[in-house]
Amino acid sequence: MNEISILMYLLSQRGSHHEFGATREEIIDRLNPGKKAENFVFNNVMTKLSNYIDPLGFQINYNPLNSHWYLSIKNEITEFFGANPFNEHPSLAATLFCTLTCCLKNRGKTSIQEIKKIRKKKNLISDLKALETKGYISINSKNRSVELTPLIGYQIDIERLYNNIVLMMKDEIK
Amino acid sequence: MVNDDNPTDIINQIEQIKNDVFSGKLSLIDLKLSPIFQELKNTLNMVNLIKYSKPFEGACGLLSQKFEELQKLLNALQDDEIFTKFIEKNPSDELIASLLMKSWTKIFYLESMSLKFLNYSNNRYSQERKSIERIEHLQIQDHKGSFLLNVPEHEFTEKMQIYFDQISYLLPCKFEDLFAHERDQIKIYENFVYILHLIQLGIIKYNKEKNLVYQ
């Protein structure tokens, strides 16, 4: 057993229902590098593992919603095999995007009313319920608020999404 | 200045930068990489080309990482309302869905390969079976010589005739059509026995080539 195999196990483990991988603290705790070297060891081991698994089509990702590092399959491979959960439901994807936009503005939480303002759609509630069933959001029916679950942080690479939107909008300006 | 044929100094310099970046002492954005590339350019020649490939690879790695950090910085400096601005343009659902899918990540997790599952399986399979099969002897009741099996209400020939009357209007037909509406396997088996007997008695005939039953 070496550092890489320990890390591989930690990053591919499943905790609770929507919890995969491990936090930085959990990784450091297992690797136990000593207080002074913990930054160096953490970054070094993560970079090494990332380089090892890259040709296999895997990558290390970070979920900002629950601060977990985890293993994922590269986006281009996911795209190639068409792993698309919204294949026949673009409307659901659009509702999820609007929810994400509202939640990002309000630190991970928003109201149904707020989503309605930007997603002008009649059966918005049924879309939200479908997204809740898929585990991407949780709805509080008492105060009509919506919250993103950690699962969406695993499934959407927000930085990549941001870059794609910026590139698309720049193309439109040109 | 480094020795032209010995790139150890420059390798050490690159390693030191990597270590400082890893430990958080240094940010690549604040660091000028051009002196390293200048040094590589000045010392590189046909003779030491192979020896210098490693430091060149290291320097390119640093440069690529610097570009990534720069991109992140530029993104952070841009208007963080980009998502809202995009929505305000009223994009189609299909366009949003395609953008979302380009950023979709598939988590690498195989339940059947996880240590948790292996532990669970190990515990399940290594457990001793507590329930021991008990052999219970049958209680034999005295029926005073009467036969235990139920005697059918009709004789076999009668039952066969009843069945023939039921299927005669279907004939001629394909063999499997005789069983088309029957779901009960026991009943199918019983009817099959009647058909065999009917064929043997010459009441109905069967053409194997055409798979046809006829009178």
A133-138 own/partner pairs: CB under 8 Å, 24+ apart = A134/A85, A135/A17, A135/A18, A136/A96, A137/A96, A137/A99
Least Cα distance to B206 among B178, B181, B169, B165 occurs for B178
Helix (H) or strand (E) holding A109: strand A109-111
Task: Answer whether A4 touches B (CB < 8 Å).
Answer: no
Instruction: Supply B193's token pair.
Output: 């026995």
Q: Is A40 in Cβ contact with B104 (below 8 Å)?
A: no
A141-A146-A150-A156 Cα dihedral, nearest 10 degrees: 140
Q: How many CB pairs under 8 A join A and B?
A: 133
Least confident of A9-13, A82-86, B14-18, B97-101: A82-86
Q: Provide, as residue numbers in chain A, all residues whose Cβ is less than 8 Å from the Cβ of B109.
A: 12, 14, 20, 71
- With an 8 Å Cβ cutoff, are B100 and A73 in contact? no
Mean pLDDT of B96-114: 83
The verdict on a CB contact (< 8 Å) between A44 and B22 is yes
B118 vs B1 pLDDT, higher one = B118
State pLDDT tens for residues B127-151.
Answer: 766 666 777 887 776 666 655 556 5
pLDDT at B1: 46
Rounded to an integer, what distance in angstroms lies between the CA atom of residue A146 and that of residue A102? 9
Cβ distance of A159 and B83 shorter than 8 Å: no
Q: Is A69 on the interface with B (CB under 8 A)?
A: no
B179-208: average pLDDT: 88
Interface test with B, best of A5, A54, A75, A115 (most B CBs within 10 A): A75
What's the ipTM?
0.82
The C-alpha of B26 sits at a distance from chain A's nearest C-alpha, in angstroms, of: 12
Report which of A172, A96, A81 is spatially closest to residue A133, judged by C-alpha positions.
Answer: A96
Scanning A29-68 for CB atoms below 8 A from B yields 37, 39-40, 43-44, 47, 58, 61
Do B106 and A72 lie within an 8 Å CB cutoff? yes
Whether the predicted pLDDT of B212 surpasses 50: yes
Residue B165 backbone phi and psi in degrees, to 5 = -60, -35
Q: Do A70 and B115 touch (CB under 8 A)?
A: no
| Residues of B whose CB is below 8 A from A71 | 107-109
Compute the average pLDDT of residues B100-128: 79
Interchain CB contact of A94 with B (< 8 Å): yes
Q: Is residue A128 within 8 Å of A168, Cβ to Cβ? A: no
Chain B CB contacts of A161 under 8 Å are 99-100, 102-103
pLDDT of B58 higher than 70: yes
Q: What is the average pLDDT across B177-206?
A: 88
Tell me which H or E stretch contains A140.
strand A137-140
Nearest-neighbour CA in chain B from A78: distance (Å)? 7
Among all residues of chain A, which has the CA nearest to that of B108?
A72
How does the average pLDDT of chain B come out, rounded?
80
- A37 CB neighbours in chain B (<8 A) are 23
Residues of B with CB under 8 A from a CB of A: 19, 21-24, 71-72, 75, 78, 81-88, 92-94, 96-97, 99-109, 111, 114-116
User: Does the beta-carbon distance from A118 to B87 stay under 8 Å?
Assistant: yes
Low-confidence ranges of chain A (pLDDT < 70): 82-84, 173-174
Question: What is the Cα–Cα distance from B202 to B213, expressed in whole angstroms?
Answer: 12
pTM over the 0.90 mark: no
| Percent share of chain B, pLDDT over 70 | 85
Q: What SS3 state is found at A81?
A: coil
Measure B94 CA to nearest chain A CA, in Å: 5
